[in-house]
Chain A
Amino acid sequence: MGPALTVTQVEAPAAGAALRLRGVSKAFAGVPALIDASLDVRPGKVHCLVGANGSGKSTLIKILAGVYQADQGTLSVGGRTIAAGAITPGWARDEGLSFVHQDLAIFPTMTVAENFAIGTSYPTVAGVKIRWSEVNARCEEAFEKFHIRAPLDAPLAAISAAQRTMIAIARAHQAQGEDAGAPVLILDEPTASLPPSEAQFVLDMARRCADDGGAVLFVGHRLDEILFVADDVTVLRDGRVVRSGPLGGMTKADLVEQIVGRELEQPPVPQAAATDATEPVLTVSGLAGGPLHDVALEVRPGEVVGIAGLVGSGRSRLLKAIAGVVPQRAGSVHVAGSEIARGDILAAIRAGVAYLPENRDADAIFGQLDVRENLSATDVGRFWRGLRLRHSEEAADAQQSIADFLIRTSSDRQPIMTLSGGNRQKVVIARLMRTAPKLLLLDEPTQGVDVGARHELHRLIRAAADGGAGVLLASSDLEELATNCDRVLVLASGGIVAELRQPEIDASRLARLSFPHDLEPT
């Protein structure tokens, strides 16, 4: 059923292509993620790959890296062609594909020079002792070439994020320079976590790699950056290549139109919240911290307010700041009239905040414990009377939660990790609702949840709002926001750039608005 694991020399790529994809398709459980995708990355050029969330960008990169196996299609690199389903991480490396992912694979406590040398083979004396003088010389040479200014003996943690990224790119470029094969550098959203001023360094870096003869595939979603750095552009929409070729005279409006499939309209100006009779349950003003700057918003009881935004826009950070999980730099947060001190989780909980973290299993589930214990995590003290825990009451409440929140489990004593992801999520939400929260902060509540459970979770969220809670719902799934929210705030580059209300909320508008528009390269 899978493609044969053989590398055959079918045809040399047409002159000019260092990496050529032809007809690559991939479906997950019958749902197509990538359909008949083809593109050429030319040596000496920066080729940008753009698309909205869920357009198939990540799937394509993961196929190139050998993480996913494509169902159809071929890849040609340096004259060798392989079935795209047969790519392995080892093959990609041997053929000279170098990846720089967002997490960079760097070692913060080791020095700049050590980090640079990892991945290339260290020059040694008699195969044993590392010749540091030579490592340093190579390092200096590369830094000179790429305009990286960082002391070689500084720990990597001490230099700026942009410089760390540049070192990771220089390292990848260097690694492939060692054999004569076609050098292909794949940069997967290298600027996503950088402020625009720093991102510029990384863009220049990508350009220098291309000038040095490399073929660079650059994945990004800041359109100004794309327009600045791209020679060629491939746009993906709903798993299909909409266009692929030289940038030519494309404008930002053209690009947005191709990404979202409609014309760009003027972003609606965020309006002051409607003057409802009710007092807001959440008032945030002047909030700054991480990528966030000067964020102001209000949530009223009974309202489900969505937060849309790309990766790195500050979505998760906003919820964490309100929940007191990370301290904000400036600004104030009031919940139900009381101010939450910076980074004070307990004060937030006491004021009525319930926070659902994005990473459920790592941050919300007690994996060694059972369903009943996980449900009681916030309020086990309630069952302590007459100097002992009333286990029968705890069990009764657990069974009530299991019934109310449609948790599928054989009993309240079942180990939590034997439940499906969706049911684990329902356990966490049931736990949050036990505190009768005034404000629910939900970060990606349906991530990794099957379709049926998703639907049930959405109903539970709406029920919480109908019960009088204010809900702030952050999601990368724009369809989810469009169908479940009364209002959606769009975050871009750390600020709220738009606010949509029903009935004007739809996924493609949210997608358009999520792309930062006001960033001009300097």
Chain B
Amino acid sequence: MLWNLERFMLLGLFAAVLVLFTVLPSTAATFPTAQNIRNVLSNESVVAILALGSMVPLVVGQFDVSVGATAGMAQIAVAATMSKHGWALVPAICSGLVIGTVVGAINGFLVAKARINALIGTLGVMTIIIGLVQLYTSGATIVTNISPNIVKLGSGTWLGIPPTTWILIGVALFVAYLLGQTPLGRHMHFVGSNPTAARLVGLRIDTIVFRAFVISGFFAGLAGALIVARNGNGDPSNGSNYLLPALTAPFLGATAIRPGRFNIPGTLLAIFFLAFTINGLNLAGVADWINNVFYGSALVIAVTLSAIVARHRAEST
């Protein structure tokens, strides 16, 4: 009973938010339009890719707080290789993916091999990245010579749906495949659930944790390329503002659909619940500060809820 209520509570909240802003007089004219919905979908698909990437280390029981900064650095790489070095679109995007993957490998080495606390290790890496981006760009946004094709990717539609959303669907299917259909994915769940037991059944914990960080880094690189597509430039101040939504969503998502586990539908639901709520509030005229307050509260409430639910379940057995 409580189980099912919990499972669909977030979905219910999401529906309530959609209905509220559709009928609310101050937002009724703009909120339910195709243009607005496409805009939110397109923007949030980038955040969602980052969130799904950061979910993989969470599944093995580790935090990656560098995903936002990594996406920011990959974004600068994609923009700069095109703008300053005249690279073609595809190699430029690849440079972003490579940078993301390398950062992921560094994080993975620090956590899995050097056995540094993941929160501290990735926080350090994040800070270094922010500094390097500042050094390279001197704080200036890269705007010239951005390929019009990548901008089209960020603003057009395929079959009425933004391309970034199509890419998100691809990423979601890949992560679902990885976690649900491969032995590696299952091993990640084992390590996250009980590292001691995982070691005793013969799993190589360091290898599994390392791979989780590499995957997270790769998707941060992809998200970086898509930020260029959305904005048509490379803005060095971008990146860190993606972190909170990307970490909040997996936790909030873990209270829904399959409560108690990080899961993909829950994470996506959480992303779009948060995004449409903020969008509606902004359209209703609430100032920008609401973004931070809302995301922060959602994270705290999500973690509190999961803790309460977990305790309930432990007591009821």
A residues touching B (Cβ–Cβ < 8 Å)?
323, 325, 345-346, 349, 355, 357, 362-369, 373, 376-378, 380-381, 384, 387-389, 415, 417-418, 431
Contacts and interface: CB of A to CB of B under 8 A. Distances in A.
B177 to A, nearest CB: 8
Interface stretch (B88-96, B179-187, B285-293): B179-187
B34 to A, nearest CB: 37
A290 B43 CA distance: 59
A378 B193 contact: no
Given A376-B186, A384-B182, A388-B181, A345 B202 contact: yes
Interface in B255-276: 260-261
A493 to B, nearest CB: 27
A364 B195 CA distance: 10
A387 B182 CA distance: 7
A367 B193 CA distance: 6
B200 A363 contact: yes
B317 A418 contact: yes
Contacts of A345: 199-200, 202
Contact of A389 (B181, B192, B196, B261): B181
B202 A373 contact: no
B202 A349 contact: yes
A363 B194 CA distance: 7
B193 A369 contact: yes
B179 to A, nearest CB: 11
Nearest first, the 4 A-B pairs at minimum CB distance are: A366-B193, A349-B202, A388-B181, A381-B183
A323 B183 CA distance: 24
B201 interface: yes
A366 B313 CA distance: 15
B63 interface: no
A355 B197 CA distance: 11
A325 B200 contact: yes
Contacts of B198: 366, 377
Contacts of B189: 366, 368-369, 373
Contacts of B5: none
Contacts of B177: 388
B317 A363 contact: no
Contacts of A418: 317
23 contacts: A345-B199, A346-B202, A346-B204, A363-B194, A363-B197, A364-B200, A365-B197, A366-B189, A366-B194, A367-B194, A369-B189, A373-B186, A373-B189, A373-B190, A377-B197, A377-B201, A378-B201, A380-B187, A388-B181, A389-B182, A417-B313, A417-B314, A431-B201
A162 B183 CA distance: 47
A415 B187 CA distance: 17
A384 B183 contact: yes
Interface in B188-237: 189-190, 192-194, 196-202, 204
Nearest to B185: A389
Contacts of A369: 189-190, 193
Contacts, number: 68
A355 B200 contact: yes
Contacts of A323: 200
Interface in B292-314: 313-314
A271 B120 CA distance: 56
A487 to B, nearest CB: 26
A378 B187 contact: no
A373 B192 CA distance: 13
Nearest to A350: B202
Contacts of A366: 189-190, 193-194, 197-198
B55 to A, nearest CB: 15
A325 B182 CA distance: 27
Contacts of A363: 194, 196-197, 200
Nearest to A364: B197
Contacts of B194: 362-363, 365-367
Given A349-B202, A355-B200, 20 more contacts: A345-B199, A345-B200, A346-B202, A346-B204, A363-B196, A363-B197, A363-B200, A366-B193, A366-B194, A366-B197, A366-B198, A367-B194, A373-B186, A373-B189, A377-B190, A377-B198, A377-B201, A378-B201, A378-B202, A380-B186
A491 B202 CA distance: 28
A326 to B, nearest CB: 12
Contacts of B197: 363-366, 377
Contacts of A368: 189, 192-193, 260-261
A247 to B, nearest CB: 44
A320 to B, nearest CB: 10
A318 B290 CA distance: 60
B201 to A, nearest CB: 5
Which of B187, B196, B197, B199 has the most chain A CB atoms closer than 10 A to its own CB?
B197
A389 B183 contact: yes
Which of B180, B201, B204, B313 has the most chain A CB atoms closer than 10 A to its own CB?
B201
Contacts of A362: 194, 196
Nearest to B177: A388
A214 to B, nearest CB: 40
A395 to B, nearest CB: 14
A378 B313 CA distance: 27
A418 B315 CA distance: 10
Which of A363, A368, A384, A388 has the most chain B CB atoms closer than 10 A to its own CB?
A368
Nearest to A416: B193
